[in-house]
Amino acid sequence: MAKATIDDVAALAGVSMKTVSRVVNKEPNVRASTREKVQAAIAQLEYRPSQSARSLAANRSYVLGLLYDNPSASYVIDVQEGALQTCRRAGYDLLIHPCRHNEPELADEVLALVRHSRVDGLILTPPLSDITQLVDGLVEAGVPFVRLSPTENKQACPYVQTNDQEAAYDMTCRLLELGHERIGFIAGHPDHRAVAERYQGYLAALKESRIKFDKTLVVQGYNSFDSGRECAAQLLGMNDRPTAIFASNDDMAAGVIIEAHHRGLAMPAELSVAGFDDTPVAHQIYPSLTTVSQPITEMASKAAELLVKQLQGKAVQMPAAIMSCRVIVRDSTGKR
Amino acid sequence: MAKATIDDVAALAGVSMKTVSRVVNKEPNVRASTREKVQAAIAQLEYRPSQSARSLAANRSYVLGLLYDNPSASYVIDVQEGALQTCRRAGYDLLIHPCRHNEPELADEVLALVRHSRVDGLILTPPLSDITQLVDGLVEAGVPFVRLSPTENKQACPYVQTNDQEAAYDMTCRLLELGHERIGFIAGHPDHRAVAERYQGYLAALKESRIKFDKTLVVQGYNSFDSGRECAAQLLGMNDRPTAIFASNDDMAAGVIIEAHHRGLAMPAELSVAGFDDTPVAHQIYPSLTTVSQPITEMASKAAELLVKQLQGKAVQMPAAIMSCRVIVRDSTGKR
DNA sequence: AAGTAAATTGACAGCGCTGTCAGTACGCCT
DNA sequence: AGGCGTACTGACAGCGCTGTCAATTTACTT
Q: What is the pLDDT along chain B (336 residues), one digit of tens a residue?
A: 568 899 999 999 999 999 999 999 999 889 999 999 999 999 999 999 999 999 999 998 899 999 999 989 999 999 999 999 999 999 899 999 999 999 999 988 888 888 776 899 999 999 999 999 999 999 998 899 999 999 988 888 899 999 999 999 999 999 999 999 999 999 999 999 999 999 999 999 999 998 889 999 999 999 999 999 999 999 999 999 999 999 999 999 999 999 999 999 999 999 999 999 999 999 999 999 999 999 999 999 999 999 999 888 776 766 678 899 999 999 999 998
Shortest CA gap A169–chain B (Å): 26
Can you give the pLDDT at residue A313? 78
Which residues on chain A are in Cβ contact (under 8 Å) with B112?
48
Q: Say yes or no for a CB contact (<8 Å) between B77 and A81.
A: no
Give A244's strand partners: A183, A272
Pairing of strands A159-162, A121-124: unpaired
| Closest B-chain CA to A54 | B52
The shortest CB-CB distance from A52 to any of B52, B81, B93 is to B52
Backbone angles phi, psi at B185, to 5 degrees: -130, 130
Q: What percent of chain B has pLDDT over 90?
A: 82
DSSP A102: T
Reported residue count of chain A is: 336
What one-letter code names the amino acid at A2?
A: A
C-alpha separations of A236 from A75, A221, A269 in Å = 29, 15, 15
E strand map for A47-182 = 63-68, 93-98, 121-124, 145-148, 159-162
The shortest CB-CB distance from B56 to any of A56, A74, A94 is to A56
Which residues on chain A are in Cβ contact (under 8 Å) with B53?
52, 56
Integer Cα distance of A208 and A187 in angstroms: 20
Q: What is the CA radius of gyration of chain B?
A: 25
Q: What secondary structure does DSSP assign to A160-171, as a single string?
A: EEE-HHHHHHHH
Residues A271, A245 contacting (CB under 8 angstroms): yes
CA B292 to chain centre: 15
Integer Cα distance of B206 and B208 in angstroms: 5
C-alpha separations of A4 from A9, A11, A313, B56 in Å = 7, 11, 31, 15
Can you give the pLDDT at residue B272? 98
> For residue range B62-73, what is the model confidence (pLDDT) as tens digits?
999 999 999 899
Report the distance from CA of residue B94 to the C1' of nucleotide C18 in Å, as an integer.
26
A-interface mutation test, from B52, B96, B108, B297, most A Cβ less than 10 A away = B52
pTM: 0.93
Residues A60, A52 contacting (CB under 8 angstroms): no
What is chain A's percent helix, strand, coil content, to nearest 5? 45, 15, 40
Contacting B residues, span 119-148, partner chain A, CB-CB under 8 Å: none
